[in-house]
C-alpha cells in the first residue's frame, strides 16, 4: 500500500490500514465518514463526486451506517479499495471542497442505529473473580459457563456515543440492616468491553452457521457498559440485569472493520470441555486488541491508569457468540450491537471493572491528588482506549470511549 496523502502523526490510531467508519454532525445533517490521521473524510461528499462504487453510493448518503452494513462484505471491500485509492493517488487532488475536515472540530454520533443490544459474559477471569467474590465457598464458575456464551439482552435505546455525560441512576438499594430504599447508586462502576456490529442479518427461524459468521460481522467498537452494583445486587435474582445496567452504555464513535483487524486475528484460548459442534469454528477468531482504562477525577487533570489488559484472552469468541445467539432461530439485523462483557486478565492490574479492582470496595484506589475511590463519584471521567499493534504491521486503533458522571 502506498503512502497516505493525508499526513499521519506518529502513533495515530487512524492509519491508512484502518479506515474506520463513523457518523459526524454536518450543517446539512449527519454524514458518514472515515477517519485518517487527525482528519475526517466525508464519504457522503465522495459519493456525490462519484468516487465510491455505485452500489455503495446511496447507502453512504444517509445519516447512519445501517444501509451500508446491509450491503455485505463484497461492497465493503470495493468501497474500502476506493477510499484507499482516493487517499493514495492523484484522485486526492480532485476531492470536493470541504470533504476533508479536522477531526478535533467535528462532533460524532453513534455510527449505527442498534435495534438490539446484547451483552455477553465472555471473560473467564472476570466471571471467576465475581464468583470468588460472591460465592467464596463454591466453584467460581456456574455449571453452564464453559458450555455456552452466557449473555443478556440490554437496552438499545440507552446506547450513547463517547463524550455523552452519564447521569447517576436511581433505583432500589437494599442495605444489610433494613428495607430497600429509593436512592441514587453509591456503587457506580465501569465495564471495559469490546463490541461487534452486525452486518447483513438472517431471517427469523434460520440460525447463522458459525462458519458464516464472518459474513455477518462488520466491525468492532469499544464499549463501557456502566453498572450500578448496589441496584443490580438487589434486583438481579432471578431474571438478571435490569435497572442496574439499562441507564447508559457508552460506545466509541469509530467502527473498526474486520478487514482492518484481520492481521491481528489469533487463536483463542483452549476450551475445556470441547464445545458442542455448532460452537466449533474454523480459523482464528480471537482479536489481539490492547485495552486500557483510565480515570480523571473531577478536580484534577492527571489521569490514573486503572487497568491494562487484552481482548485476545476472552474465552468465548465473537463467532461463537453470534452462532449461539442465533441457534434458536432469532434474527439479527444490520446495526445490532453485541458486547463482550467485562474483559479482565488474571492479575489485579488487568481487571476491567472497579468491583474487581477494589474487590467490592475493600481495596480503595489512590488517585494522583491523594484522594481514593472504591466506585465512581460525580465529576469522574472514564477514558477507555483500544489498539492493535505488532512489529511490521501498521497500528490500528479505536480512539477513545469516554464518559463523565453527573449527579
Q: Do 223 and 307 lie in a common domain? A: yes
Q: What is the mean pLDDT of residues 176-202?
A: 97
pLDDT at 1 over 70: no
Say which residue the cell 462458519 belongs to: 211
Q: Do 96 and 158 lie in a common domain? A: no
The model's pLDDT over 49-86, given as tens digits with 9 standing for 90+, comes to 999 999 999 999 999 999 999 999 999 999 999 999 99
Give the pLDDT of residue 300.
84
CATH number at 62 reads 2.30.30.230
Across 252-392, the runs of DSSP E, i.e. the strands, are: 256-257, 265-266, 286-287, 290-296, 304-310, 337-339, 365-366, 372-373, 381-390
Quick one: what percent of the chain has pLDDT higher than 70? 100
Q: Do 104 and 130 lie in a common domain? A: no
Catalytic residue among 126, 182, 216, 324: 126
Asked whether the bond before 273 is cis by omega within 30 degrees of 0, the reply is: yes
The model's pLDDT over 16-42, given as tens digits with 9 standing for 90+, comes to 999 999 999 999 999 999 999 999 999
Domain total in the chain? 2
Residue 2 lies in a domain: no
Nearest to 401 by CA among 117, 101, 192: 192
Mark which of 48, 75, 108 sits at the end of a domain: 108
Determine if the pTM surpasses 0.95: yes
Mark which of 108, 131, 164 sits at the end of a domain: 108
- pLDDT band with cut points at 50, 70 and 90 for residue 299: confident
Q: Do 90 and 178 lie in a common domain? A: no
Mean confidence (pLDDT) of the chain? 97
User: Domain range holding 204?
Assistant: 117-406
Q: Do 86 and 202 lie in a common domain? A: no
CATH number at 298 reads 3.90.850.10
Residue 8 lies in a domain: no
Give the pLDDT of residue 298.
85
Q: Do 130 and 87 lie in a common domain? A: no
Mark which of 48, 76, 108 sits at the end of a domain: 108
Residue 126 annotated as catalytic: yes
Q: What is the mean pLDDT of residues 336-342?
A: 98
Q: Do 294 and 162 lie in a common domain? A: yes
Amino acid at each position: 500500500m502506498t503512502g497516505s496523502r493525508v499526513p499521519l502523526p506518529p502513533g495515530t490510531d487512524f492509519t491508512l490500514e484502518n479506515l474506520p467508519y463513523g457518523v459526524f454532525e454536518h450543517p446539512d445533517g449527519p454524514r458518514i465518514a472515515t477517519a485518517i490521521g487527525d482528519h475526517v473524510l466525508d464519504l457522503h461528499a465522495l459519493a456525490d463526486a462519484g468516487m465510491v462504487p455505485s452500489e455503495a453510493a446511496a447507502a453512504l448518503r444517509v445519516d447512519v451506517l445501517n444501509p451500508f452494513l446491509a450491503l455485505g462484505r463484497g461492497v465493503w471491500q470495493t468501497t474500502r479499495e476506493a477510499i484507499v485509492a482516493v487517499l493514495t493517488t492523484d484522485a486526492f487532488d480532485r476531492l470536493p471542497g470541504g470533504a476533508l475536515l479536522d477531526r478535533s472540530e467535528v462532533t460524532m454520533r453513534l455510527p449505527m442505529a442498534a435495534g438490539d443490544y446484547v451483552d455477553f459474559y465472555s471473560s473467564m477471569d472476570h466471571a471467576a473473580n465475581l464468583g470468588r467474590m460472591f460465592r467464596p465457598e463454591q466453584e467460581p464458575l456456574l455449571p453452564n459457563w464453559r458450555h455456552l456464551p452466557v449473555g443478556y439482552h440490554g437496552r438499545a435505546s440507552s446506547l450513547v456515543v463517547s463524550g455523552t455525560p452519564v447521569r447517576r441512576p436511581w433505583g432500589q438499594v437494599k442495605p444489610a440492616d433494613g428495607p430497600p430504599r429509593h436512592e441514587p447508586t453509591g456503587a457506580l462502576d465501569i465495564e471495559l468491553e469490546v463490541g461487534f456490529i452486525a452486518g447483513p442479518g438472517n431471517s427469523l427461524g434460520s440460525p447463522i452457521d458459525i462458519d458464516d459468521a464472518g459474513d455477518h460481522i462488520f466491525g468492532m467498537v469499544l464499549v463501557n457498559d456502566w453498572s450500578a452494583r448496589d441496584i443490580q445486587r438487589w434486583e438481579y435474582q432471578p431474571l438478571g440485569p435490569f435497572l442496574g445496567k439499562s441507564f447508559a452504555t457508552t460506545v466509541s464513535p469509530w467502527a473498526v472493520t474486520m478487514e482492518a483487524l484481520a492481521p491481528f486475528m489469533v487463536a483463542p484460548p483452549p476450551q475445556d470441555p470441547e464445545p458442542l459442534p455448532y460452537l466449533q469454528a474454523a480459523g482464528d477468531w480471537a482479536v489481539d486488541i490492547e485495552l486500557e482504562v483510565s480515570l480523571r477525577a473531577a478536580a484534577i487533570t492527571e489521569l490514573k491508569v486503572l487497568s491494562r489488559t487484552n481482548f485476545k484472552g476472552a474465552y468465548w469468541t465473537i463467532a461463537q457468540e453470534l452462532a449461539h445467539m442465533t441457534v434458536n432461530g432469532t434474527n439479527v439485523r444490520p446495526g445490532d450491537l453485541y458486547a463482550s462483557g467485562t474483559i479482565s486478565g488474571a492479575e489485579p492490574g488487568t481487571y476491567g471493572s472497579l468491583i474487581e479492582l477494589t474487590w467490592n470496595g475493600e481495596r480503595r484506589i489512590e488517585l494522583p491528588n491523594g484522594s481514593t475511590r472504591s466506585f465512581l463519584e460525580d465529576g469522574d471521567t472514564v477514558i477507555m482506549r483500544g489498539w492493535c499493534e505488532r512489529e511490521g504491521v501498521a497500528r490500528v486503533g479505536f480512539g477513545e470511549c469516554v464518559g463523565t458522571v453527573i449527579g
